[in-house]
Structure formats: structure tokens, C-alpha cells
Structure 1
Amino acid sequence: MGKLQDKVVIITGGAGGIGSGMAKAMVKEGAIVAIVDLNEETGKAMEKELQAISPKSMFLQANLMDRENLGQIIKKVVDKYGKLDVLVNNAHASKQKTIEETTQEDLDFSFGTGFYPTFYLMKAALPYLKETKRNVINFASGAGLEGHTTQGAYAAAKEAIRGLSRVAANEWGKFGINVNIISPLANSPGVQAWAKAQPEYYEDIKGKIPMGRFGDVEEDIGRVAVFLASEDSKYITGQTIMVDGGSIMLH
């Protein structure tokens, strides 16, 4: 029996990067994971990998910017499995630009792939989470906490997610629902792209990590997600968990 035996989990952006790391860590603990992603090719490949461990796990193709149909993601999962235990809002895309260069379209893209899906999926999941009394895991970023340059649209959306998560933790605690936030520093495709775009900045950040490396998406980030999705974290809510090798030490 794993820590998440037969728990039904939705992970957005689950086909690659941190999302796939969490999915793999969770199925190894007995979870049934529905990964949601736009990319059908990588989604199907990850579905096959997950099903080798957890045969009931599946891939759902969806465009998270299609707000009108976000509720269908929750409905399809609950219709298939009969319940929902954990919602992980991981997906987020943005463009790296200075504030001076950032357009309304850039803001809409960042909020449309990150904040709004987080909000609407949480809202749609609430009736089912009330039944299971389980967990929501959202994602923040050091870009928002420290104000990294060229990350205005991304940082703004991430901090909006943190604010929303704290409100939900206060409102939903009475239902037995935990809402927590992971702020990761991982060797994900997004970080790799950032390293290419700003190599000096990347090396500077890496050099300041007390543990001397970027985290592994499964072993480092995924294991913390397992903890937050499990009974072990039932008295933790509204918290930003820094999974970043000590880069940012919150006071």
C-alpha cells in the first residue's frame, strides 16, 4: 500500500517537466493520475509510461485557455473514477519580456494558462473535494517572490495564484480541504529554456543555491507533491513550500 493508494489525482501540464515528475512519483505511491495537457503526442507517451505502473491512469487533452470547458476536465475524471482526491494546478506558460515590452496579449497568455485555469478548476473541483476532504496543490515561483527580471507577466500570475490559494485555505479549511503551494526550482524544460535565454543569470542563480543544484522533477519536486497529497500533510494548509534547495528562505 502506497501513501496515495487508489487516490484520484488531476495534474495539469502533466505530460512533461515537473508535471510528469509529480505524476510518476504519485503513481508509484498507488495513485490513479489523470494528466491534462495540450500536447497529444507527449501526453499519450506519458500516459503509456504511467499505465505501466498504474493501469487506470489516463491522459486528457485540453486547452486550459478554453475557460468555458475547464469544468469538463473535472467532470470527465469524476465520471470515470467516481471521485476526486487531489487537484494539482501545475500548468503555466508565459513569455519572457521586460515590463516595458510586455503587452496585454502577454498578460492574457500568462494569466490564461496559469491563474484562470487554477481558479476555475479549483471552483469546479470543490464539490468533489468536499466529499473526499482532500487536497489542492498550486504552484508559485521564485520569479514572483524575488521579482526576477523579464518575468513580469509570469510573476504577476504566480503571485495571484498564491493569494488565491491563501483565501481558499481560509475558506475551505472547514470542509477539511488543504490548499498548499509549491515554489520549485527544478531542472525542467522551462528552466532549460531560461538557461539558454539568459545563461549568465542562470549560472548566477545556480551558484547561489545552497544545495548546489537544480532539483530533480520526480525525486525532489515529485516527492514533496506526494507528501502534500497524502495524509501526512493533513494539518498543513495555506503554506508556500519552498522546494528550491534553500534558494529562498521565507521569514
Structure 2
Amino acid sequence: MDKLKDKVAIITGGAGGIGKGMAMAFVKEGAKVVIVDLNEETGNEAVKELQQYQPESMFIQANLAEHDKLKRIVDQVVAQHGKLNILVNNAHASKNKPFVETTREDLDLSFDTGFYPTFYLMQAAIPHLKETNGSIINFASGAGIQGHAKQAAYAAAKEAIRGMTRVAANEFGKDGINVNLIAPIANSPGVQQWAKEQPEYYQEVVSNIPMQRFGELEEDIGPAAVFLASDDSNYITGQTINVDGGSVKF
């Protein structure tokens, strides 16, 4: 299990949910993973689990909405490990509201925690990724691709990330950097809580997924991320990979 052997990866939002699932999948394939998260307690707990497989894994506590400090994350990782191979921009916070009730503050939250951190971390990482023929994995969503109700702020930021990802793929393909997106449907802690609170609605959503289930964090989303971060995907860039049980078809 060494598809990512000796590769150094940054995963934002890596202390829980999809981020932690990917981090676990990465370390089991040999990567040195640096998880970046706002929550110090869960971050420290998560990195202890990662270190059971890869002792050089790290946790960096950071508020991604503090955009002027994001370059320091990349600098710290490169100073510690001497290189950077993989950047995974997973973290994102947003509020769901009807379109006409969505405020500037709602838009700012979604862009400040999702779009802008993705943008600035990519800018900081690209010079180092050029040296390693590295990979960037950003996150899209069916909310943007299909236009889910009550997710205007989230969908707008996710589609902005998709557009930026395609531009970066075109600009940096010549440098051996591949830049792709994952659009997941995942059995995250938030989904699990929602299933308890609204079991009928949850079952309705599941019934519309062709594979009749939400994807598991490490077992379903993790391998897709491993593939995009590994040498197996060297000739794939600018693509949105829908890891969603067949929900989005185009």
C-alpha cells in the first residue's frame, strides 16, 4: 500500500468528516499528511490516529478565513518536510437559506472559508508543486452542479472554485501539475445527525441515489482522492470527479 509513498500532503478541514477520511486513506498509502483545521482539540486527536500509520504526520491549527496567514501554512510544511506534493482544499463553511433570504454575510462566509482559502493556498503551493510535479484536489458539489435549493451561497462558491480549478489546470499542466475536483456525496457526521433529525427526508434523498447509500468517508471518498493524488492520474487534469453514487449524470 504505497501509492503515495514519501509524498507530502496538506489537507484542509482534515480533523473530521471527509477531510479526516481522506487523511486516513493517504497515510495508509504512505503519505506524510499535514491536516489543517480550526478546531485544536479534534485536530490533535486526529493527528494521533494518523501518526499510528505515518509518524511524520502533522497538525496545524489555523483559521482559513485569515487569508493573510495562509501562505505560512505552506511555508511551514515545506520547512518541515522539504517539499510539497499534494494540496487538498476540502474545508468550507456555509449556511443554507432560501435564495431571497441569502445575505451578503452569508456569501462572505462561504467565500471566505471556501473560495478564498482555496485560491490563496493554491497560489502559495504552486511554486513548490512545480518542483514535484504535484497535484491539487479541490472540492466541488452537486449543490452547484445541479443547483440545489437553499444553497445559493455554497453553490456560488463551489462553482467559483470549479472555474478557478479549470484555469489552473490549463495554466500549470505544462509544469506537470494536475488540478482536479471531487464532487462527493458522503456519510459525514453532519449527514448522520441529519438522518436522526429528519429520517423521512433522509430516506427520500437516499432513494434518489442510484447506489442507494451515501459514500463512506475513508472507503469511498478516500480512494478517489488517493487516485487523483497518485501517479496513476498523471494524465488527468481539469476534471470534476463525481464520487456520488451516480447522482450527477452528464
- Fold-level similarity (TM above 0.5): yes
Secondary structure at the aligned position of 1:100 is classed as helix
Deviation at 1:201, TM superposition (A): 4.3
What residue number does 2:158 align with? 158
Q: Distance in 2 between matches of 1:242 and 1:97?
A: 24
Q: Distance in 2 between matches of 1:95 and 1:175?
A: 37
1:149 and 2:149 correspond: yes
Q: Which residue type is aligned with residue 65 of structure 2? A: M
TM-score when scaled to structure 2? 0.97
- CA 147–85 in structure 1, closer or farther in 2 if over 3 Å, else same: same
What residue number does 1:110 align with? 110
Deviation at 1:204, TM superposition (A): 2.3
> What are the within-5 Å matches in structure 2 for residues 12-91 of structure 1?
12-91=12-91
* Root-mean-square deviation (Å): 1.3
Query: What do residues 46-85 of structure 1 show as CA deviations (whole Å, max 9, x unaligned)?
Result: 0100001100001000000000000001000000000000
Q: Which residue type is aligned with residue 186 of structure 2? A: A
Deviation at 1:195, TM superposition (A): 4.4
Secondary structure at the aligned position of 2:99 is classed as coil
Query: What do residues 98-119 of structure 1 show as CA deviations (whole Å, max 9, x unaligned)?
Result: 1111111110000011000000
Secondary structure at the aligned position of 1:14 is classed as coil
Q: Distance in 1 between matches of 2:205 and 2:226?
A: 27
Unaligned runs of 5+ residues in structure 1 are none
Unaligned runs of 5+ residues in structure 2 are none
What residue number does 2:172 align with? 172
Secondary structure at the aligned position of 2:101 is classed as coil
Instruction: Provide the identity percentage.
Output: 69
Deviation at 1:181, TM superposition (A): 0.2
Secondary structure at the aligned position of 2:220 is classed as helix
Deviation at 1:203, TM superposition (A): 2.7
> What are the within-5 Å matches in structure 2 for residues 218-229 of structure 1?
218-229=218-229
Query: What do residues 198-227 of structure 1 show as CA deviations (whole Å, max 9, x unaligned)?
Result: 655433221111111000000000011000
How many residues align structurally? 250
